[in-house]
A and B are shown apart, each in its own frame.
Chain A
């Protein structure tokens, strides 16, 4: 996106006649206002995490992120993401394929249903699984008899995480595959490719960056989910504590530096996510610019086709 933005700008703003754009003064004022707002709301909180994390020195930082409870929380978080992300990736691929390659009734309803988990409060996302599998839940007694524990254990944490991160991959892929159309798949079909060959050799290479970004987003949310997991986890240190829950416990125990130290790990992950997003956008905008420049007519036709 950033690449496309620069392409839209005239080389020097001041070269344009007066009264067509904002005056340089107004322009500086607006930039200043936007940056001030971003600084207060986003930038200062970001920086503060690292400063708080290192306030009591490197040694304490190191100790905070290597103590056994932190490590076990990290392990649990990674394990949860390692289950939730592949599941939702498979689902996202299936949903995008069904929705973008075929016509059927109720498509819009299906798309809305896929968005549903985004609209539900994280706390309610946890609550629904407590209602199903908790001790007083619908399946609680049945599970209890068989000694299966879901709530306050790993399965509950995984379920809540899967629910919360459910739409990410599908939502990245659907618009992407819609804009790409089905012509390449049809071309592959006329050349004799079977369904699997078509998917693996034509579709997958075309969507790999979008898919990658969807998985990164899904992973970021899966590792960072707090509300839903806090309802279904039992907050048992060393057993059912994920990293965000560990941060909460440390914070509530007034171990601020340790809490921010562990938080800084998740911040790094968030920054990697943003970096991946920029990289994917840079790649796609470059690819788009490359396909569009030499042949303006083809681009026009392509746009029509997309409708």
Chain B
């Protein structure tokens, strides 16, 4: 393991813990997305890795070596700040060169390295500009180049895209992912935007109220959420209060429990359109939402309201239409864990009573 964190804790003042007993390991060269709602402890965790905050207890190891006592200057970590924290009185060149001049590198070495990074980040020609003469995306890239200049072993990025407008953000994150995989540097970035984490990260760490909820590849986390929080946070979902009334799930879910359902696991359509008509039940269309690539249908069943995705090539529906609804999969909440449950009727096309 390149980075190892063991039972890390941090509380500010007398409040609730910002980071609560967090442990994880990260292999070399991975790009990690640290995801969670605002105020979940992501930035605090990142700042402790960087040495900008000291943990109350627990251990941080880099390459097997405990770094708790090391000052940020000695850790050899690159850090990209949320608002970039560019040195406003220095031009682009001097910003990028800063870390190297601290190391007292030769002028020619510094110049070569800065040129290389300017080319890499597409900033060539802007070296004489000052931060206030750059666009948000350009500043972000300067911050990135500045952090990379001293060749850190680990790169930390705190909400790297938060201050950039939506359109540039998409381009920038594709660019960043390619660049990091090209450089092969272990990187951790903080985000509260799940699309961003899913799209960019090799692996996600999901943090809520200071606790680590789940670690895993985006697809794994999406398909097999381990906690109710992750199941409801990742993807588009709805919580059902009476899942035991859904056809097929009546025996599998105890009354009084709740379950989470995703629209992509629900089919709603006219008679004959569904893949497993025997597992479906009737419902009424309440709302229709056009989502660009598909239609989202809100249907009311006996005691539950849920969302279903519907391809655009199917015949149109109207509010008030009666449709058949098939729920393929539920995430059943059982205390602190979540159980994935496929509709049992789907696998048993000829139920006993026929």
Contacts and interface: CB of A to CB of B under 8 A. Distances in A.
A298 B74 CA distance: 30
Contact of B81 (A183, A201, A295, A297): A183
Nearest to A289: B132
A187 B87 contact: yes
B139 A192 contact: no
Given A184-B87, A298-B139, A290 B132 contact: yes
Interface string B44-80: 0000001110000000000000000001111101110
Given A189-B72, A290-B132, A294-B134, A197 B82 contact: no
A291 B86 CA distance: 12
B131 interface: yes
A190 B79 contact: yes
Nearest to B130: A290
A17 interface: no
Given A186-B85, A190-B72, A206-B88, A295 B103 contact: no
Interface stretch (B161-169, B226-234, B277-285, B332-340): B161-169
Given A186-B52, A302-B83, A297 B164 contact: yes
Contacts of B131: 291
Interface in A155-203: 183-184, 186-194, 197, 201-202
B87 A202 contact: yes
Contacts of B163: 295, 297-298, 301
A301 B50 contact: no
Name which of A183, A190, A192, A201 has the most chain B CB atoms within 10 A of its CB: A190
A220 to B, nearest CB: 26
B141 interface: no
Given A186-B52, A190-B72, A290 B102 contact: no
Contacts of A194: 73, 102
A27 interface: no
Contact of B132 (A291, A297, A305): A291
B135 interface: yes
B133 interface: yes
Contacts of A187: 79, 81, 85-87, 146
A192 B52 contact: no
Interface residues of B, number: 40
A287 interface: yes
Interface string B85-117: 111111000000011001100000000000000
Interface string B160-187: 0011110000000000000000000000
A186 B73 contact: no
B40 interface: no
Contact of B136 (A184, A189, A290, A294): A294
A184 B131 CA distance: 13
12 contacts: A183-B85, A184-B88, A187-B146, A188-B87, A189-B73, A190-B51, A190-B52, A191-B102, A192-B74, A192-B103, A297-B163, A298-B136
Interface of B: 50-52, 71-75, 77-79, 81-90, 98-99, 102-103, 131-136, 139, 146-147, 149-150, 162-165
Given A187-B86, A192-B103, 19 more contacts: A183-B85, A184-B85, A184-B87, A184-B88, A187-B85, A187-B146, A189-B73, A190-B77, A192-B150, A194-B102, A206-B89, A290-B133, A294-B134, A297-B136, A297-B165, A298-B136, A301-B82, A301-B83, A305-B83
